[in-house]
Amino acid sequence: MRKVALLVMLMVAIPVFSLSTPAHSGQDRIQAIIEAVDTDELYRYDRTIQDFGPHPTGSEACRAVASFIYDEFQSYGLEVSYEPWEAAGLSSRNVVATLPGETNFAVIISAHYDSVEVSPGADDDGSGVSCVLMAARILSQYRFRHTIRFVAFSGEEQGLYGSAHHARQAYLADEYILADLQLDGVGHAESSQGGSTIRLCAEGASTWITDVAQEVLDIYGQNIDLSIHRNRNFPGSDHQSFLNYGYEGVFFLEYEFNPYYHSAQDTIEHVNFSYLTKVCKLATATLATIADREVSIYLRLVEPERGALYLGSRKLMVLDSHRTMVLGQTLARAQIYTQEDISRVEFYFDGRLRGIAEGQPYEHTYTKLSLFNHVVTAVAHGRQSQDSNELTVAMYNLAPGNWLD
């Protein structure tokens, strides 16, 4: 009897489920996502956030903003959780919503929901949080190859504390994060140039994310009306926490400086919602594109670990930061996820090729005299593509294996 009932339920449930999954695929799907970005809804989000008044980390208003974000995420049918963190005498919670994918990879869109002491934070960063909510609302209606995480951090204004915790936990859990798209101050524009330009701050290994955003504009630009101003990386927002742990990320930032920044006048009246809508379209479409992209090679430097102190290849202790220090010779080891044959992995120290590994284990020991910071880079070469990862290590090796360079 129960079996029959279950079968009937399944027969009813399956068609309903497939009807509720949008039929769009590929380009149609991205187009539909762009069109779904809604200015009135962005206004409602940002208005709600600023109406809580100034909401610095630790305040009652900050907790109220967090629960507003939590409830919104939940109403879209996403898995939602609070992620508590403590740092520098502060304690607070990030709000994390997850849309599970089919692979072990994740893509993140993020913003910070705390404000400074005096400011209602409509632009900094109510604008970014509004975009994250909008992306969550729209993308929750679709399914993607990779997992998407929608994250609102706190503790940004005091020192990127919420995101530092999140990135560290992800790193310690061996998470494969493809990219973090951080939006912080994306609602201010006065001139026509300001209203049609977005800064994408990225450099080095993260510039491919800007390239994807540019591809989105090349195809759908007429529906977005925005151009990208490529900036070198500015470390002043939460994407930096991901970079610190060896992940890749970009920082979306308004083109014109906001004169109301960190003041009591950072209110909804000074947010340009047609500009915010454009930025939200670009960020959401870029996120969706990355979330469906196949990953050919994904390389991570796993030794030495970030945030640890080593004596040679032996880990002595875990440090309370992302920094890495090695006393003696440095063993660099790469771990690779790949869909291609790997022909070789190259190891560079301060940009100079020092070792090549043609098979497992992909590692190289650096034996030269070293003092202070050095940059270790590993590059995996497949047949069609390559991937690299970089790590800055404070190396102190006063008894080198070979004094000559």
Residues numbered 105 to 144 that lie near Zn ion (CB under 5 A) are 124-125
SS3 243: helix
- Closest distance to Zn ion from the beta carbon of 194 (Å): 18
Edge-first strand order for the sheet with 227-231 is 79-87, 90-99, 147-153, 105-112, 176-183, 249-254, 197-201, 227-231
For β-strands 90-99 and 79-87, DSSP reports them as antiparallel
Concatenated DSSP letters for 102-165? SSSEEEEEEEE----TT---TTTTHHHHHHHHHHHHHHTTS--SSEEEEEEESSHHHHSHHHHH
DSSP 204: G
Using the minimum distance from each CB to Zn ion, give the nearer residue, 123 or 292: 123
Distance CA 141, CA 85 (A): 30
Using the minimum distance from each CB to Zn ion, give the nearer residue, 249 or 328: 249
Size of the site for Zn ion (CB under 5 A): 3
- Closest distance to Zn ion from the beta carbon of 125 (Å): 4
Residues 6+ apart with CB under 8 A from 373: 392, 393, 394, 395
Of 137, 135, 98, 113, whose CA–CA distance to 50 is shortest?
A: 113
- Closest distance to Zn ion from the beta carbon of 124 (Å): 4
Q: Which stretch binds Zn ion (CB under 5 A): 38-46, 176-184, 261-269, 375-383?
A: 176-184
- Closest distance to Zn ion from the beta carbon of 114 (Å): 9
Q: Which stretch binds Zn ion (CB under 5 A): 43-51, 181-189, 198-206, 376-384?
A: 181-189
Using the minimum distance from each CB to Zn ion, give the nearer residue, 125 or 387: 125
Residue 108's DSSP bridge partners are 149, 180
Using the minimum distance from each CB to Zn ion, give the nearer residue, 110 or 210: 110
Phi-psi region of 242 (alpha: psi -120 to 50; beta: other; left: phi over 0): alpha
- Closest distance to Zn ion from the beta carbon of 119 (Å): 10
The answer to whether 238 contacts Zn ion (rule: CB under 5 A) is no
Task: Give all strands (DSSP E) within 248-385, no chain letters.
Answer: 249-254, 297-303, 308-311, 314-318, 324-327, 330-338, 344-349, 352-357, 362-366, 373-381
The answer to whether the beta carbons of residues 376 and 349 sit under 8 Å apart is: yes
- Closest distance to Zn ion from the beta carbon of 15 (Å): 46
Could you tell me how many residues make up the chain?
405
Q: Cα 146 to the chain's mean position, in Å?
A: 14
Using the minimum distance from each CB to Zn ion, give the nearer residue, 125 or 266: 125
Q: Which stretch binds Zn ion (CB under 5 A): 6-14, 18-26, 38-46, 180-188?
A: 180-188
- Closest distance to Zn ion from the beta carbon of 10 (Å): 48
Using the minimum distance from each CB to Zn ion, give the nearer residue, 182 or 386: 182
- For the beta carbon of residue 256, count every other beta carbon within 10 angstroms: 16
Binding characters for Zn ion, 337-376, by CB under 5 A (x = yes):
----------------------------------------
Distance CA 171, CA 319 (A): 14
Using the minimum distance from each CB to Zn ion, give the nearer residue, 275 or 349: 275
- Tell me how far apart the terminal alpha carbons of the chain are, to the nearest angstrom: 79
- Closest distance to Zn ion from the beta carbon of 150 (Å): 17
DSSP 397: B
How big is the CA angle at 64 (ends 180 and 273), to the nearest 5 degrees?
Answer: 55
Binding characters for Zn ion, 54-93, by CB under 5 A (x = yes):
----------------------------------------
- Closest distance to Zn ion from the beta carbon of 320 (Å): 24
Using the minimum distance from each CB to Zn ion, give the nearer residue, 187 or 307: 187
The answer to whether 184 contacts Zn ion (rule: CB under 5 A) is yes
Using the minimum distance from each CB to Zn ion, give the nearer residue, 124 or 346: 124
Using the minimum distance from each CB to Zn ion, give the nearer residue, 124 or 180: 124
- Closest distance to Zn ion from the beta carbon of 5 (Å): 53
Q: Which residues bind Zn ion (CB under 5 A)?
A: 124-125, 184
